[in-house]
Chains A and B, each alone.
Chain A
Amino acid sequence: MSARDVIFAHARPEMNDGLADGQWQSAVERAARDMIERLAADTPAAVLRGT
């Protein structure tokens, strides 16, 4: 999930699973959370969670 693609998360099945068309904002939120999780897993960004 690219940072540029977060806003279009409604088009990604893994982000819109179980959501209706009108719930595109929930897909955006899922995508943002996914990006944050990946960042924390793969980079030193995880240390920020302790601050």
Chain B
Amino acid sequence: MTPAGHSAPFATRLAAAVKARGTPACVGLDPRRESLPPAFRAADAAADDPLALAGIFTEFCRGVIDAVAPLVPIVKPQLACFEALGAPGMTALADVIAYARAKGLLVLADGKRGDIGSTAEAYAAGWLTGPWAADALTVNPYLGLDSIEPFVKTAAERAAGIFVLVKTSNPGSKDFQDLTSDGRTIYEHVAAGVEAFAERTSGGETYGAVGAVVGATWPKQLDDLRTAMPHAWILVPGLGGRGAGLPTSAEPFIPTDLDRSS
């Protein structure tokens, strides 16, 4: 048993959860005051009261978790939605993460963290251990491979996981990620790093502790990246949406967005 209380690596637990639910679907937890159900009308009056609003977010997210826990393997709270409420929001987030895990869900903290050295170590400790301990965290690779290393180390030690941004779904992803250096795009360089980390942490199993984020808005790149990162789970925002095609690979992925009408 690891310090975080997991008995198996994240990749193994994710695979088991996906098989148990029969789907790799992920539900995002991005609470917004203005979009809450009418049952939470008190939120309007609490617009300027972070403590009250945090309590409402907690109640709402718990309700969502109750509804989806039997159906999906994993939920993905967006940290910014809680951080915006200050200390009460962080308390709410800790409650939501703990509640989801108590209901048998894996939790992917979507914070897109990234920094160097001891700061990266602190980010990893903050989101993969302690009161906000999630099962996995999204990581921004812009500062380089050495900035990812502390997250990999903590994830491997705690049987947790990380998902590194490789090729994101937003239109502006081409501004930097598609630029070429040494004959490869920047996102291909990142993917090579992810695959190395994933293989290193796989322990001889199929998948490692390091996954990738690849937007389904880029279907050709998604196919290529699936092949380029055989040891990495891939989180796929935008799957089926915004005119995207679909991956042809039968390898696992976690779709986070399935809007064919947009």
Contact = CB atoms under 8 A, between A and B. Distances in A.
Interface residues of A, number: 33
Interface string B18-49: 11001111111111100111110000000000
Size bracket of the B interface: 35 or more
A29 B67 contact: yes
A25 B66 contact: yes
Interface stretch (B132-140, B159-167, B188-196, B241-249): B241-249
A36 B72 contact: yes
User: Counting chain B CB atoms within 10 Å of each CB, which of A21, A33, A39 scores highest?
Assistant: A39
A33 B38 contact: no
B187 to A, nearest CB: 22
Interface string A17-51: 00001101111110011011011101111011101
Given A36-B71, A47-B250, A24 B23 contact: no
Interface in B222-262: 237, 239-241, 246-247, 249-251, 253, 255-262
Interface of A: 1-8, 10-11, 21-22, 24-29, 32-33, 35-36, 38-40, 42-45, 47-49, 51
Those 6 A-B pairs whose CB atoms lie nearest each other, nearest first:
A24-B37, A4-B28, A44-B250, A28-B67, A2-B259, A21-B38
